[in-house]
Amino acid sequence: MKVTVKVNGVERTADVESRLLLVHLIREVLGLTGTHIGCDTTHCGACTVLLDGTPVKSCTMFGVQADGREITTVEGLATNGQLDAVQEAFKEEHGLQCGFCTPAMMLVGASLLERNPDPTEDDVRWAISGNICRCTGYMNIVKAIQTAARAKAAASEPASV
Amino acid sequence: MLPASFEYHRASSLEEALDLLSTFGEGAKVLAGGQSLIPLMKLRFASPEHLVDVNHIAGLDGIAEADGVLRIGSLVRHNALAASDVIGARYPTIAAAAPQVADPIVRNLGTIGGSLAHADPAGDLGSVMLALGASVVLRSTRGERTLPMSEFLVDTFETAISADEILTEIRVPAPSARAGGTYLKLERKVGDFATVGVAVYLVLSNGTIERAGIGLTGVGLKNIEPEQAEAALAGAEPTEERFAEAARLAAEASHPASDVRGSAEYKRHMVDIYVRRGLSTAFDSARAA
């Protein structure tokens, strides 16, 4: 079946089997390997991507279902070589250890900040509760997302005269 | 994991979807949120030849209360259910359960209709709908029928739905008097199935209990409605002793199995504790209503 998706702002078309999972479409057909496959059973969230801005587990959706929709993967977070606030904060706060869950954690964090620009620690923990960090580095992941929130707030404040 | 091959059909209207189901019969499955069906297909527990994608059908995702009935479209995602104002204000049992289904990312796709039609005994919403006395609307090219939840749920992963039918709507009687409820879930971690889940609904009238609804999750072959426990409450004074008696009867009606989540004895004990606790919370919220 023919599938056309807008991935990180670029329209891509592929001819795929209907049983191909979205995560395989992204990784193997479109060549974007920043999206990871962890448990492959809808538990770990490592394969999370944004579908029209909403986090979904791409191992639990078929590629053909994404036809006509917009997908953001971790490769789409940075713009013009400039890291997104969430990426910058993960670097600053040591928000990653082995890095396997990181692409998903950052996408979920970015999506949370779109809806809730000033999340409490509880809000962040709730938002990432569908994503497992097997290094158990949650403290710094939570800190990183909150740091990103502060950085974004500071950046959007009007410059003082 | 790669599911078996199938033909994908994106239905743009309910009529088109019903026609497809009527043509393919047992060979077809409805694809809604896919959060239970796709894992089953990956594990090859299910290998449908045709998938009818209903996600693009308009009008199946509404939540509205009118004429004493709350109508929830079957395509309503769990997170939309959790965010609904009318549910938050008037349906505490649903409001308590919706944010406890699976995890926040699964809730972005998973639907209420899919969850009910999947009929997992560890599913949360089946118990909620039993407690609330809800019914489901089933449509096919042959027509439409409405079934109470208690008749809809048949066995583990088995409902009364026919291969050519689509669950289009859930109907919940609106609370007419002072009503309260809650959903309590014991789980090892977010995203795990319930070790034990208890849905409770109480309607008060002139200081007595007019109606009580209870649903039990994860402690039997399907979601259980402990009717004797409900009967022990109906018409009675809402006292601690009465709640304890109902909780004991609910625990008796449960048939938990020992597994990694706990022994049968532990689970039955937790049914007792949670029903008692749930009734007390429901009573407090009904009094405040």
How is chain B split into domains, by residue range? 7-53, 63-173, 179-288
A27 assigned to some structural domain: yes
Residues of A in contact with B4 (CB under 8 A): 19
Any CB–CB contact under 8 A between B28 and chain A?
no
**Confidence band for A159, pLDDT divided at 50, 70 and 90:** low
Max Cα-Cα span within chain A: 59
- B259 CB burial (10 A radius; 0-12, 13-18, 19+): exposed
pLDDT digits (tens, 9 = 90+) for A29-87: 999 999 999 999 999 999 999 999 999 999 999 999 999 999 999 999 999 999 999 99
> Looking at beta carbons, which residues of chain B come within 8 Å of A108?
105
* pTM (2 d.p.): 0.96
Q: Are A96 and A109 in contact (CB under 8 A)?
A: no
CB pair distance less than 8 Å for B51 and A18: yes
Residue B51 has which token pair?
């998938």
Tell me the sheet residues that pair with B215: B199
Interchain proximity B106–A131, CB inside 8 Å: no
Give CA–CA dist A55/B104, Å, rounded: 9
| Domain boundary residue, one of A76, A93, A111 | A76
Residue ranges, chain B, pLDDT below 70: none
Q: Are B60 and B168 in contact (CB under 8 A)?
A: yes
Picking from A42, A76, A110, the residue at the C-terminal end of a domain is: A76
Q: Which helix (H) or strand (E) holds B193?
A: none
Say which of A43, A45, A56 has its CB closest to residue B109.
Answer: A56
Q: How many domains does chain A have?
A: 2
Instruction: Tell the CATH topology of B7-53.
Output: 3.30.43
The C-alpha atoms of residue A88 and residue B190 are separated, in whole angstroms, by 28
CB–CB of B39 and A41 under 8 A?
yes
Structural domain span for residue A109? 85-155
Identify the domain boundary among A76, A109, A125: A76
**Which B-chain residues 37-66 have CB contacts (< 8 A) with chain A?**
38-39, 41-42, 51, 53, 55
Q: Has residue A124 been placed in a domain?
A: yes
Q: What is the CATH number of the domain that holds A107?
A: 1.10.150.120
Q: Residue B105 is nearest to which of A1, A41, A57, comparing CB atoms?
A: A57
Q: Name the CATH architecture for the domain at B63-173.
A: 2-Layer Sandwich (3.30)
Is the pLDDT score of A139 beyond 70? yes
Whether the CB-CB separation of A50 and A72 falls below 8 Å is answered with: yes
Candidate from A55, A67, A130 with C-beta closest to B191: A130
Contact in structure between A19 and A82 (CB atoms under 8 Å) = no
To the nearest whole Å, the CA of B76 is away from the closest chain A CA by 15
Count Cβ–Cβ pairs < 8 Å, chain A vs chain B: 73
Residue B6, CA distances (Å) to A1, A18, A29, B40, B254 in order: 11, 7, 19, 14, 39
Correct CATH for B179-288 of 3.40.50.450, 3.30.390.50, 1.10.260.40, 3.80.30.20: 3.30.390.50
In one-letter notation, the amino acid at residue B227 is: E
How far is the C-alpha of B210 from the C-alpha of B203, rounded, in Å? Answer: 5
pLDDT, one tens digit per residue, over B37-91 is 999 999 999 999 999 999 999 999 999 999 999 999 999 999 999 999 999 999 9
Amino acid at B270: M
Partner-chain contact B106 A48, CB within 8 Å: no
Best mutation target among A20, A62, A72, A111 (most B Cβ atoms within 10 Å) is A62
What pLDDT does A160 receive?
61
Instruction: Indicate if A139 and A93 belong to the same structural domain.
Output: yes
Stretch (H or E) spanning B35 = none
Long-range residue pairs from B90-93, CB within 8 A, at least 24 positions apart, any chain: B90/B65, B90/B174, B90/B175, B91/B132, B91/B172, B91/B175, B91/B181, B92/B180, B92/B181, B92/B182, B92/B282, B92/B285, B93/B128, B93/B131, B93/B132, B93/B181, B93/B182, B93/B183, B93/B199, B93/B200, B93/B201, B93/B282
Query: Which residues in A lie closer than 8 A to residue B39 (C-beta atoms)?
Result: 41-42, 60
- Is residue B288 within 8 angstroms of chain A, CB to CB? no
Number of H helices, E strands in chain B: 12, 13
Residue B118, pLDDT score: 98
Nearest residue to A100 via CA among A68, A141, A153, A62: A141
- The answer to whether residue A161 scores a pLDDT higher than 60 is no
Cα A144 to its chain centre, rounded Å, is 14
Q: Tell me the C-alpha distance between B260 and B46, whole Å.
A: 24
β-pairing, A10-15 vs A48-51, is unpaired
By DSSP bridging, strand B196-205 and strand B208-217 are antiparallel
| Interfacial B residues in 132-191 facing A (CB < 8 Å) | 190-191
